[in-house]
Structure 1
Amino acid sequence: MVEALPLRIFLASPGDMENERAAVRACVDEHNARHDGEDGVMFEVVGWDRVRGTVRRAQEAINDLIAESHFMITLFKDAWGSAPGSPWGYTSGTEEEFFTALLELGQAEQPMRDLWVGFVKGSEPDARILRLRQHIIDGHSVMLESITDLRDLKEKLTQRLESWHDLVDTKIPRHVDLVPSSGKDVLRAANLRLRGEKLIDLGQPDAGRASLKEAAVLGGPIEKLAYAKVLRRAGDLNAAYTQTQKAIDYFTDGGTLYSTLAADAFSAQARVLNDQGRERDAIGRLEHALTLAIGDDANAQAIRCRIQDDLGLAYQKVDDLANAQRSFEAALSVRQKVGRDVDVAQSLINLARLLIAADDLESAADYAEEVVATLRATPPSGLHANSEVLAAQVRLRQGRPDEGVPHVERALAINRQLANRRGEAISLLLLAQCHRAAGRLDDAEDIAMECIAVNEAMGDANGAAKAQWILDHLADHPPVS
């Protein structure tokens, strides 16, 4: 029988609380001993000391550990702590850890289930501690305890551990209204971003876009990049570029340049440049972005793979297929080692498009079938749409346009659900091509005209011209028998 892994409790506290940290660990050990063998539920205490040396901002590595934790204990007494150099303006590492856990608490897919905050009686507590305590009391934000001494700490924590024992299989996302010492409404901005992204996933693009716009006003680089993404999908490339530049400005004006978030900002701007037809500029931006995502942690690897994807696509657009293949294969190699099927599927889509360009349609079809089958059991996403477009393109090139129609229709439905206007335009163009090749000229004409309207709304003259070509050559292509 394989034993269950212990549930992680992240312990956040400033440096003046060594005795309290020892008391917490002893209390958790006693709880585990008391319940040993009952139901397999065990707790382990983790903290900054579990983080290895890193070339990143140290607090980012600590935050990664919080993202893997199920509960948090936060303790304050007299000291507030030192500033961690955060892009959100946190004035102590403990404060950033606390607010990071609150963000995790609001995300359904993250393991964080509950937080417990203890204010230990001290001799002269920092004024920021007193303000935080009062804000929590006023807003009834999270569970708070006033603690007189170590014995009191252990008694109250013992009760909390017993209640956490019942939350093992339960995660109820909770959004907390609390403002950090910087005055930046970090939690509201993050929650607006999460809400906007979820609304778009649920097929409510207007409401989702409004939430993301407000998140970008209140928040930092992450919120601005999320809003830029939806603007780019809607074809508003100038506004998307502006948002990516606002995110970049944070890093060029003194933020941590060598970080995955900085790399993400530069690569997001490169995607906009690529859509604007400035492929050479995009390639240069992406090559530099690769140098910023340093480190071998999972997040850095994922960012570098995405940049390699974008590089390959940009190289492909300028007909540099050798460098395109090099970039795609670099990303695939990393993803295969990690073993995430969804990420591998992205690499297979990219390589299949190179095979189409090389007229190796049989191999491209094999890749397409593998990707569609892999993604079938996962929620719809832009990747699903891309896989369906790929499958339709292969069948069209193989002279089987009727078989391509169901694939491209699914891609069109997904892109509309995600409010991806550029993806919608691509799907419409491909659908018109399939109907034209199959001899259904009336259908091809109607869909091509719809494609022109979408492209004109986005200001994409090149996309509109491709659809117009179909209208001008409707009868040129003999139907497939």
Structure 2
Amino acid sequence: MAENVRKVVKVFLASPGDLGRERSLAKEAVDEINETIGRTFGYHVDLIGWEDTVSAYGRPQALINKEVEQCEYFIGLMWKRWGTPPDSEGRFTSGFEEEFELALSRRSSEGKPEISMFFKEIPSDKLDDPGTGLQRVLEFRKQMITEKRVLFEDFKTEDDYQKKLRRALFRYLSNLRATNETSPDDSSVAPSAGQTSSKDAPTEGMLSTSALSFLERIAAVAKKKKHIEPFDLARFRLIGQVLHQQGNDEDVMGVHDANLIFRYGDIGQLGPDEVTALADCGLRNISSQTAPLWQWVAHRADIVDFLSLGTFLGSEAVRRGSFRAMTLIKAPLYLDNRGDHRQRRRPIQCGIRSRHPELHQTP
């Protein structure tokens, strides 16, 4: 994506009127996304809600529906209120219901928008005698569970809500970027979190097939005593870092070489460990912002796992950078403790062998 050119992603925020604070927090979260990940990924999230609809002649809900019809991502919030009917003649019992059903209809016919729902925890004393509005909210939530058409999350506090909202937006932008970078004749679906990215170049042994072909080409050039381009030297050093073993001198990707690969390289031709080495360079220099980072991190389908592992694998600078990166995207920190065998396999699946080559050994 061209430098300074950002694609606008329209996100519609739907909720009844009892979640004003949460709507404000959503705008704050979107602003943070736009200033961090959005800027790096080349996207600008445009958050739209009923309060942003321009006054005009006609049925008010119809004006709001136009925004729903154009959005790429629909986010719904619910708490204690269901809302009021949008008019006296329609079949919908609230404006939220009409917006949600419209989004579902578009999703069924067009394949979009993406839909997420968030339910704020209801005080226990309200559940004894919920009243008509709250009862309708409870029925709607139960419907979500029964129909399994839309995934939803519950939240208790404002911090919990913002964290989950940021994560949802980050995941959506990551998947959107992965989909847009897929070639037109590639019909594969963008990988879900926790899987290895399908965009990684095929591997043979410790290196990708692309890296092996590259080494053969460089050997041929060197044999003929021809000039080797700076970019080729940068990738040669990168491959050397991937092949680093204990007992050798520590070798890390330099900022200049990382920028050369970022500017002239094709990420689709890099193996997973090459991408990891480049990401580690960005993490080591995250404070100075002198080396690319998010381009490489976004290439991983298991972004949170990748950064979480970075907090305890690799050099001290990589660990510090991983904590800093997770703080910027408000990512949760968790470790996989499901048994020794799976603990040893997880880092390999996340593509961090170049941080610890010994982890490549089969248990």
**Is TM-score (shorter-chain normalized) higher than 0.5?**
no
Between Structure 1 and Structure 2, which shows a larger proportion of strand residues? 2
Q: Using structure 1 for the length normalisation, give the TM-score.
A: 0.33
Q: Using structure 2 for the length normalisation, give the TM-score.
A: 0.44
Between Structure 1 and Structure 2, which shows a larger proportion of helix residues? 1
Q: RCO (CA 8 Å, sep 6+): is it higher in 1 or 2?
A: 2
